[in-house]
Amino acid sequence: MAKPIYVLNGPNLNLLGRREPAVYGRDTLADVRSRTEERARGAGLVVDFRQTNSEGELIGWVQEARDKAAGIIVNAGGLTHTSISLLDALQAAELPVVEVHLSNIFRRDSFRHHSYVSLAATGVICGLGAKGYELAVDAMAQLIAAPKSRA
């Protein structure tokens, strides 16, 4: 059986639909999960969708992905801008990584303009709301199909 795509969500993403809907939209994390799983099924993929408010748990999942996943889609929330440890784990995973942000981080507070995750990411999708997860699945399908073409 093919390895799943890990879809990892960081702090506060469990509050989607309730937290700042003008910024993050009205879709809940359950809505995002459902749409992501549906898109993956259409591409012949399986996702392992997770959320945590703990940096250590997120890093543990990235380390687990090294052996158990075909790739990682990650929305690290606020850890995007602060966690060198997460960057180190993503780089050590040696997998394709697609970074996702619901909002356009470059139209927000200046501290959000820097992403440690981007240093390990094969690609970044931001500002397209929950649709970004579906696009990340499409991108991951292509990356897995042609791993030698990754930059």
* Number of separate domains in the chain: 1
**Residue 63 belongs to what domain range?**
5-149
**Statement: residue 114 has pLDDT above 80:** no
Tell me the per-residue pLDDT of 26-62, one tens digit each, with 9 for 90 and over: 899 999 999 999 999 999 999 999 999 999 999 999 9
CA pair distance 87, 120, nearest whole angstrom = 6
Residues taking part in catalysis: 24, 101
Please give the model's pTM, rounded to 2 decimal places.
Answer: 0.90
CA pair distance 133, 36, nearest whole angstrom = 6
| CATH number, domain containing residue 114 | 3.40.50.9100
Across 97-120, average pLDDT = 80
